[in-house]
Amino acid sequence: MLGPTSGFVVGRDTRESGARIERALGAGLRAAGVGVVSLGVAPTPAVAWVGAQRALPGAVISASHNQWTDNGIKFFAAGGRKLVDAVESRLESELDAILAGDLALDRALELVSTADVDVTVDDGAVSGWCAAVVASCPADVSALRVVIDCANGASSTVAPTVLRSLGLDPIVLHAAPDGRNINDACGSTHPDDLCRTVIAAGADVGLAFDGDADRLLAVDERGALVDGDQLLAMFATDLRRRGLLRGDRLVVTVMSNLGLRLRMDELGIEVVETPVGDRHVLEALDRVDGSLGGEQSGHIVFSDLATTGDGVLSGVRLLALLADAGRPLSLVAADSMDRLPQVLVNVPVAVRRSDIAEVLADEISAAEAELAGAGRVLLRPSGTEPLVRVMVEATSESVAEAVAMRLAAEVERVGGA
């Protein structure tokens, strides 16, 4: 059970179910004697920032990049830090016990929906985070022409505000949330509209956020996607040049492209590898005293500036990098690393199997032998969906695709939906 605290910071994204879940969470916290400070609709990094400023724990009601019908709760420890494994496991065990009890879930929701929930509403707290993001920009970016895609999510109001505070007049896409259009054919998971608009507007760069605004993907002036690996390569190179990449280390996950690792090796930058998930990246950054880490999906952590991934902050840092470089994003990205062809296949499964790599160990070994050291194979269950992700890197797209499809068929054979 949670012990007494002076408060718990809570925010949510724009999903239809968010307000109801926030009320239920608030009722539970108040029943445990915990004060609740509601930020309303707020990006995940804003909730973490407020928690860090006030030394409070927090929660974000969001399903990140998923469709509107999904939702969940992310918890932060006091100070805006992700929970350690032991605490997260205990929470999951407590939830399992509640769901296995006599009180039906719909009855529990009915009780909390009618409860008198006394919370402190602090809509203005998010403006402090906006100001901090603006203050973090180390260059004049006002000459850039920028398009942003807010995914009809939590960045819909704050991202345009931040960029306008920097002297920009951004073209804003998908910033009219209605509760059901979050991530719907938009945002970092569906950047096609952003790519088209960047080309049509003659823009220098496009920035794509996800539903809770803790991710960033970019689009260059030609309409080509720039993923998290390329952004990390650019940021690491820039920070090292300015003497700000602590220990000359970069933290990445197992999904990061081999080309990123090879380029960092050429530059003398140590690559620290973690399992998939920004929580693991953050733990590694603490362990090695690193200043930069992230994921191919666009979670990027500047640990001197934030306690979690922050899409808006990452976007501002990218704009500053481009303003300093004085070169198109396409050229800066191309110089940062050579991407090996990488094929990712999402295989629906009936049950998420954490042991999928062990079950298909022989098939994986055969695939690795076929690649002969010139590529990689990775099988892992999704952390949020009933999928197994099959990733293959090779020296050619055709080889990577053939190996990936063969392994995907094996996943289907042993556990397909």
Choose, from 64, 188, 291, 303, the residue flagged as catalytic.
Answer: 64
In angstroms, the Cα distances linking 134 to 142, 229, 274 are: 12, 24, 30
| Cα angle 306, 307, 310; round to 5 | 55
Q: Which residues, listed in sequence order, are joined to residue 172 by a DSSP beta bridge?
A: 148
Concatenated DSSP letters for 327-393? Answer: S-HHHHHHHH-PPPPEEEEEEEBSS--TTHHHHTHHHHHHHHHHHTTSSEEEEEE-SSSSEEEEEEE
Q: Which two tokens stand for residue 97?
A: 């016990």
DSSP state of 3: P
Q: CA 169 to CA 124: how far, in whole Å?
A: 23
Query: How many CB atoms are located within 10 Å of the residue 52 CB?
Result: 20
Q: CA 5 to CA 111: how far, in whole Å?
A: 24
- At 37, give phi and psi (nearest 5°): -110, 115
CA nearest to 400, candidates 379, 363, 374, 362: 374
Q: CA 214 to CA 294: how far, in whole Å?
A: 11
> Would you call 64 a catalytic residue per the annotation?
yes
CA nearest to 123, candidates 46, 64, 38: 38
- At 306, give phi and psi (nearest 5°): -150, 160
CB 286 within 8 A of CB 204: no
CA nearest to 257, candidates 83, 413, 395: 395
Q: CA 273 to CA 296: how far, in whole Å?
A: 12
Q: Are strands 225-226 and 249-253 parallel, antiparallel or unpaired?
A: unpaired
Catalytic positions, written as ranges = 64
